[in-house]
Amino acid sequence: MSLSKYSGMLLVLLAVTACSDGLTVSDAYIRGLPPGQTVTAAFMTLNNGSNQECRLVGAASPIASSAEIHAHTHHNGTMSMRPVEGVALPAGEAVSFEPGGYHLMLFGLQNSLSDGEEYKVTLFFEGCPEVVVTMPVRSVLREEES
């Protein structure tokens, strides 16, 4: 293998290592809703402790047929929700996904979600490798208490 190929592989490994070591997820949960609901939301805080910007561009979970990144916006006194193509995660900063702000929408739920159950959600990034997060289900009633 030539020196340039080794150099290229080394650069890729360094970039992946820099991101994966510094990108963490905290306070993650899926909103539990009454049985029969086929759509819910997931929340978390993404902490980018790396020295390069990442961008969350998608998500997937085996419990849902699809997932989208959404944001709440306020315009003329009206709050609305809309999908966004991605969310920038500046180097050394944290971005919260919380009710009334950024969040993940999970569509086409395969079954009811019970409080305390845990499910995997895969987060896809530009500039950083994907991250698999185990998220507990938190009842909407418990969510309002916290």
CATH code of the domain containing 8: 2.60.40.1890
Q: Which residue would you say has higher pLDDT here, 137 or 4?
A: 137
The two tokens of residue 62 are: 């085996």
Main-chain dihedrals φ then ψ at residue 23, nearest 5 degrees: -95, 115
10-24: pLDDT as tens digits: 334 334 444 446 899
Domain count, the chain: 1
Separation of first and last alpha carbons in the chain: 56
What span, in angstroms and rounded, lies between the C-alpha atoms of 103 and 90? 17
Is the per-residue pLDDT at 9 higher than 50?
no
Q: How much is the pLDDT for 16?
A: 41
Model confidence at 143, pLDDT cuts 50, 70, 90, reads low
What span, in angstroms and rounded, lies between the C-alpha atoms of 35 and 29? 18
Domain containing residue 137: 3-145
Is the per-residue pLDDT at 93 higher than 90?
yes
